[in-house]
Structure 1
């Protein structure tokens, strides 16, 4: 950590393998996105479906979830799951709580997920997001994700711009 606040706080990124981790992922998305963007429970239901699919039978050699903690409290998460295509993975449900933003947690979470994707043999990672999530977009761009397409959508009680991003993993990760 390069800033003074980060030097005083204990930050850990670990696998989401403890009781309550996956439930927390669903809860924090519902709470944070309702508070920050006014999104309705349709978003929480989508996150619950993603997490339930992961919990019901992920392949630990090909799929993983991470929790970021700050001073022992959960503060962020991300999942990497099989994308259903040859060599394709999906980055899912990235969030960092407002109180923990600015500590580099989003970058650490995505970096760990992409390192895992490379080790698991994936060749490409995709993700879906909305255009209003500018901090997340900066993280994706930092790692070399490119916007593949976007379209207006009405989801979570709002008019949004849905975006699909993609990253070819043959790029040199050391250059990031």
Structure 2
């Protein structure tokens, strides 16, 4: 088997090892600088999210995951409590460029949503930017819907921020059918 035929062994695990949280901050800073030219404002935002998680998270209601490819960190996602009861936030999804196309983003979001259901959340929200097309495709694949968007200047660029929402349980089938059957 040639080097180019090698398909990495992948895994998704909890972000609970020394270096995991620091890697999340570093990887976001480096990847978003290379890919989008985003400045250190973005890395600072990620560092704040990670620091808040590290110092205040409730393990029964919040978690973080690391994706690995051949034993090396290759992605991450966090789930934290939202501002309203029963609502969680999906935060800082990332898959490194070398690991894209391996399904890790989908696996990370799947783990995140399974945990959200087990923890009793009824809804998951997230904020992203419209330039993050691959991430948006993953969110849409899980049923997230765009709730609003707004232009902003951040990370050294003019961007369009988007808020997405997923109702984890939705309407019971009978209620959905009744609503869909209305004229």
Q: TM-score, normalised by structure 2?
A: 0.89
Give the Cα–Cα distance (whole angstroms) in 2 for the partners of residues 162 and 63 of structure 1. Answer: 24
Q: Specify the alignment match of 2:22 in structure 1.
A: 23
Shift of 1:57: 1.7
Q: Specify the alignment match of 2:104 in structure 1.
A: 105
Q: After TM superposition, where is structure 1 displaced by more than 6 Å over at least 4 residues in a row?
A: none
Give the Cα–Cα distance (whole angstroms) in 1 for the partners of residues 83 and 53 of structure 2. Answer: 13
1:54-106 CA distance string (max 9 Å, x none): 00021101000000000000000000000021100000000000000000000
Q: Specify the alignment match of 1:159 in structure 2.
A: 158
Q: Cα RMSD between the aligned structures?
A: 1.4
Secondary structure of 1:35's counterpart equals: helix
When Rg is computed on C-alpha atoms for both structures, the one with the higher figure is 2
1:39-67 CA distance string (max 9 Å, x none): 00000000000000000021101000000
Give the Cα–Cα distance (whole angstroms) in 2 for the partners of residues 96 and 107 of structure 1. Answer: 10
Secondary structure of 2:83's counterpart equals: coil
Q: Specify the alignment match of 2:73 in structure 1.
A: 74
Shift of 1:171: 4.2
Unaligned runs of 5+ in 1: none
Give the Cα–Cα distance (whole angstroms) in 2 for the partners of residues 171 and 69 of structure 1. Answer: 32
Give the Cα–Cα distance (whole angstroms) in 2 for the partners of residues 84 and 134 of structure 1. Answer: 26
Give the Cα–Cα distance (whole angstroms) in 1 for the partners of residues 137 and 154 of structure 2. Answer: 22
